[in-house]
Amino acid sequence: MRADLINIQVEDYGNDVEISLSGSLNKAQLSAVREKLDTLMSGPGVFFFLNLERAHFAVDDYLELFLFGADFPERRTAGIFLQVSKHF
């Protein structure tokens, strides 16, 4: 069985951290994406920018994750900003 890759790029600018997702993401990858983002946003940084412009989501669960369930840094105070294309 072939596992689909999750493409995540992280750029650290001190207090600002940009996390970019790219590729096609389906339901099977949802828990792994959530876990990875939680881990990344628990690290250093004050403002997190999630760049979703090059990501394609196969299921609506990702919409819920990013818009309604985005409580990733629940253990700390941080700002989360989403950057999406008009085709989200």
> Is 68 part of a structural domain of the chain?
yes
> Is 70 part of a structural domain of the chain?
yes
| Cα–Cα dist 81/54, whole Å | 16
pTM > 0.75 = yes
> Is 79 part of a structural domain of the chain?
yes
- Domain hosting residue 62, numbered range: 7-83
For each of the chain's 88 residues, which pLDDT tens digit applies? 355 778 999 999 988 999 999 999 999 999 999 888 888 888 777 888 889 999 988 999 988 887 765 555 554 556 777 777 655 4
> Is 88 part of a structural domain of the chain?
no
Taking Cα atoms as reference points, which of 6, 60, 61, 15 lies closest to residue 37?
6
> Is 2 part of a structural domain of the chain?
no
Report pLDDT for 28.
Answer: 92
Domain CATH for 44: 3.30.750.24
Q: How many domains does the chain have?
A: 1
> Is 11 part of a structural domain of the chain?
yes
